[in-house]
Amino acid sequence: MLSSYALDSQVIQKELCTGCGACQGLCPYWGSSRGRTICYYDCERSDGRCQHFCPRMPTDLAALQKKAFPDETVLPELGPYRALYLARAADPEIRGGAQHGGAVSALVELALREGLIDGALLTRAKDTLDPAGVMVTDPDEVRRCSGSSFQIPPTLAVLNEALREDRLRRIGVVGTPCKTLAVCKMRYNPLPDNDNHAGNIRLVIGLFCGWGLDWDGLEALTKRSAPSGAGHVDIPPSKYHSIEFAPRGGGETVSVDLDEVLPLVRPACRACADMTAEFADLSVGGARSADGWETDKKWNQIIVRSKTGEELVALARSRGILEFKDVPDTALDKLKKASLGKKRTAVRTLRERCGGLGYLAPNEALLPLD
């Protein structure tokens, strides 16, 4: 079976492609345009890296998880778990340009300055639109990549190119759950005859993600909601049922009903069972607490999953890079419930679209649905 055919028939035609870029930057056969993955040529390889590392090709996720994390740290609903923190960047300048509390930017800057990594794969957008992957080697460049875009660019193409060149020996990666799964496959399930220097990946920070949006649809919605450009886009807690556009340069935030946004959700995102980036060293999202949205949107919640992640957070605490506050007693249970809800939605979608668990098979042990 041609590897390009397998990806096309099992992933793209079934609307499971996330646009992560794991199949790109390896050869001239695969590319991308405005969030759409394109196969330019058929390929005769049956074991290519494009197929091997795609996060939507069938994978024994339970076996992969065992390779990457100790069994005793795994929670059925959330994956590997060592600790949960509420934290934010201590530097107000970082917080000022961040999506929420700026914890990711602060941690990446720290890792670069301390030599824990010598390059970081980040995403840079233009007023929240047209994002692209960039490999940052200067800590002072990290803040230019702050904030979020709800378009999903093929950033892993940039990672593949950097790994192939083998000039950065300690790489950090920041990405959504689909991307961190692909990176985990690179690190712990490489091709024996060509691992593409996957050992150079030293740190993975995952981003909580509910879904990404169609590139053209989001661009049109942004132009209607913030004609001068959106300096910030955010989705408040579910009770608000809205998406918020903050105009570039200041001005009143515009709230758009989520019913206008949901038709723009990428089909692949409805089949994603991972809300919290379970295959990362650290996972970071917006805070949720009884303090309310106006307070929570200035803080992050951080799930520590590995020893590497644990050591980085400890270093950030000791250096005063992050500020911490008490985690509510209900926080972990709320995360479990939200994560489980996404898993259930994914399984329903996959059964309707694929007649079974699709890329999740055989992984019933990772899906505590009852």
pLDDT tens digits for 223-265?
999 998 899 999 998 899 999 999 988 889 999 999 999 999 9
Whether 3-58+353-366 shares its CATH topology with 72-212+267-342 is answered no
Which band of pLDDT confidence, cut at 50, 70 and 90, is reported for residue 1?
very low
pLDDT tens digits for 36-45?
999 888 877 7
pLDDT for the residue 366: 58
pLDDT for the residue 2: 41
* Domain definitions of the chain by residue range: 3-58+353-366, 72-212+267-342, 215-264
pLDDT tens digits for 85-101?
999 999 999 999 999 99
| Cα dihedral 292, 293, 298, 301 sign | positive
Distances (CA, A) of 216 to 252, 272, 283: 24, 21, 28
Token pair for 319: 């250096």
**pLDDT reading at 200 higher than 50:** yes
Taking the model in full, what pTM does it have?
0.95
Report which of 55, 314, 95, 71 is spatially closest to residue 206, judged by C-alpha positions.
Answer: 55
Q: How many whole angstroms separate alpha carbon 125 and alpha carbon 129?
A: 5
pLDDT tens digits for 135-180?
999 999 999 999 999 999 999 999 999 999 999 999 999 999 999 9
The residues near 35 (Cβ < 8 Å, ≥ 6 apart) are 19, 151, 152, 153, 212, 214, 215, 266
- Identify the helix (H) or strand (E) that includes residue 178: helix 177-188
208 touches 276 (CB < 8 A): yes
**Tell me, what DSSP letter sits at residue 213?**
B
Q: How many whole angstroms separate alpha carbon 16 and alpha carbon 38?
A: 14
pLDDT tens digits for 25-80?
988 889 999 999 998 888 777 778 888 999 999 989 999 999 999 989 999 999 99
Helix, strand, coil proportions of the chain in percent (round to 5)?
Answer: 40, 20, 40
Give the residue, 136 or 195, on which the prediction is more confident. 136
**Tell me, what DSSP letter sits at residue 176?**
-
Which band of pLDDT confidence, cut at 50, 70 and 90, is reported for residue 312?
very high
**pLDDT reading at 114 higher than 80:** yes
137 touches 159 (CB < 8 A): no
CATH number belonging to domain 72-212+267-342: 3.40.640
Question: β-pairing, 171-175 with 119-126?
Answer: parallel
pLDDT tens digits for 270-287?
999 999 999 999 999 999
pLDDT tens digits for 345-356?
999 999 999 998
CATH number belonging to domain 3-58+353-366: 3.30.70
172 touches 117 (CB < 8 A): yes
Q: How many whole angstroms separate alpha carbon 207 and alpha carbon 148?
A: 10
